[in-house]
Structure 1
């Protein structure tokens, strides 16, 4: 049975986002709760998450944040490492299904009620003291502090692999964003995304070539985008996708080397 999460009502989302700016840095823990009277659940479709389960999810992610420097300002390497560890926790421990994960107000609750202190640490205010709304409200789930991590873990999860989450460590933030930002054409097919990341991982000879892995990846993505205009890439098996992506990547590398 799927697990249903609280959905923070829009008015409360706006109120709590304003609160982020009213509370001084280092004191956002005062906003933390595992319940809000201004949150609702889907009427059907699963079992409601318990407060104990929410507390457990918070504890796991908070512990991971502390291992990566929280509450002190994190370095880029610490932030990236935290993202990978937190993605695994969110996917494993939340037991969330894609339909629930597609609900923006679920992520608003998690960022603004359950984990505001961690999200503020991961995505601090800019030089003018303003927080980016997309990171907290869930207006764009590809940019949300937590939703983007769950999505990555869900898409890159390989249940049969020795380490089911090993693909999370292959690409850096910028390169993975290049893929996930193309959600309508590429990121909507988890099998294709896994094939792209596997081909990047396995292209060991690239270290000996003049063309950078990032350039090859981006050229590969552009070529795959053109293919989606007349191929349904949800149909092929994983083996067929691997074969296709490796061929396209080889062509992309050859083109860039000219």
Structure 2
């Protein structure tokens, strides 16, 4: 059965986001809560997540953060490792269906009530002491600190693999964002995204041009194809064949 998560009401979201700025990073743990009287749940669609389950989720994500230097260290490698592990934790243990995951106020609860200290560590304030609202409020789920990770894991999860989450390791942050930012053309089809990432992983022909250049050129070509091909109706093997063909064409053009 799917779980239903607290949805932080808009006024409470704003109040907690202001509080985030009023406290120093070392005090953000004082904001941690596994419930809120200013949160609601969906009426149907599953059972409400328990406070104990929310505590377990916090413990798992907190452990992943501590493994990567929380709260003092935050290198690029550590951030990437945290993102990969947390994406798997959120997808594997939240038992959240896509409809529930599309609710912005759920992610506001997770980042501003359950895990404000971890989210502020991963996405610190800028030089003016301001935190980016999208990372905490859920105004844009493709930029939210945790929603973006759940979405990646959901899209790239492949139960046929020995490690169902191995595709999370293939692309770096900026390259994966090149796909996920094209929500209507590419990211709307999980099968297509998996095919693109799998083709990049399996391509060992790195003579003359870099695989990253091939990746970006092939994305441009796929985007043009989506204008007149209905890729939603294609099977995953068909998508895999198409992506590999386009990638080979991109490599040939770049090598010429």
Do these two structures clear the TM 0.5 threshold for a shared fold by scoring above it?
Answer: yes
Deviation for aligned residue 1:238: 1.4
The count of corresponding residues between Structure 1 and Structure 2 is 256
> Which position in structure 1 is the counterpart of 2:7?
7
> Which position in structure 1 is the counterpart of 2:95?
95
* Aligned 8 A contact 2:123 2:135 in 1: yes
> Which position in structure 2 is the counterpart of 1:229?
227
**Residue of 214, 217, 226 corresponding to 1:216:** 214
Task: Write out per-residue CA displacement over residues 91-126 of structure 1, whole angstroms, 9 at most, x where no aligned residue.
Answer: 000001000000000000000000000000000001
Aligned equivalents of 1:173 and 1:214: distance in 2? 13
Aligned equivalents of 2:177 and 2:150: distance in 1? 14
Q: What TM-score comes out, normalization by structure 2 length?
A: 0.98
Is the partner of 2:25 in helix, strand or coil?
coil
> Which position in structure 1 is the counterpart of 2:240?
242
Aligned equivalents of 1:50 and 1:25: distance in 2? 28
Aligned equivalents of 1:102 and 1:193: distance in 2? 19
Kindly indicate whether residue 189 of structure 2 is the aligned counterpart of residue 189 of structure 1: yes
The CA RMSD measured in Å over matched residues stands at 0.8
Gaps of 5+ in 1: none
Q: What TM-score comes out, normalization by structure 1 length?
A: 0.98
* Aligned 8 A contact 2:25 2:117 in 1: no
Aligned equivalents of 2:251 and 2:10: distance in 1? 47
Deviation for aligned residue 1:46: 1.2
Aligned equivalents of 1:140 and 1:3: distance in 2? 22
* Aligned 8 A contact 2:134 2:143 in 1: yes
What are the within-5 Å matches in structure 2 for residues 1-258 of structure 1?
1-206=1-206, 209-258=207-256
Greater mean alpha carbon deviation, residues 229-238 or residues 114-123: 229-238
Aligned equivalents of 1:136 and 1:38: distance in 2? 17
